Structure 1
């Protein structure tokens, strides 16, 4: 049994010292309050981790959407350029002057 890096002998020693300091009536109350504090800390930690995961997923989604938009824009511009090259009027050649 190893909780927070504290083994069984250390736990027994902590309980004995707690009994001597606080007495048998106060010790269960202190244990409950410590347990509640640890539980609330774990819940807050889990909430924080879940919030970070949600934000990371939102960022990934927006990056993917931006990449898709950029690729569509690039394809559209390239196809417009390719079509435009065929329809651009070439300048007329000036008539050559007779040599004389």
Structure 2
């Protein structure tokens, strides 16, 4: 219990008996017991809440992993064989009207 052995507990009880007296010792022990019970209840409630939160996070991760599309590995670039990766993949072109909208200009017909 708190790293206290039987000899230490007996010393604490004797000191408490001397300090508090035989009339007040049962009252103090009862109050101490109630306080410890409430502390245990509170800590078990917190532990249960943390366990629920951990379980919910793990479930979200599992759900996200199941729903995630499998991404193929990137194509390996062949360096030094006469082909360049920039020539193999054309750059996507932005439509002119969307580019003008983004820049705040009116589109000019060609």
TM-score normalised according to structure 1 size: 0.62
| Aligned residues between the structures | 71
Structure (1/2) with the larger helix percentage: 1
CA RMSD of aligned residues (A): 1.7
Unaligned runs of 5+ in 2: 72-110
Q: Return the offset for 1:9.
A: 2.0
Per the normalisation by structure 2, the TM-score is 0.57
Largest Rg, 1 or 2? 1
Distance (Å, rounded) in 1 between the aligned partners of 2:4 and 2:61 = 45
| Residue correspondence of structure 1 range 3-42 to structure 2 within 5 A | 3-42=1-40
Q: CA deviation at 1:53?
A: 0.8
Deviation at 1:52, TM superposition (A): 0.7
Moved over 4 A (4+): none
**What SS class does the counterpart of residue 2 from structure 2 fall into?**
coil
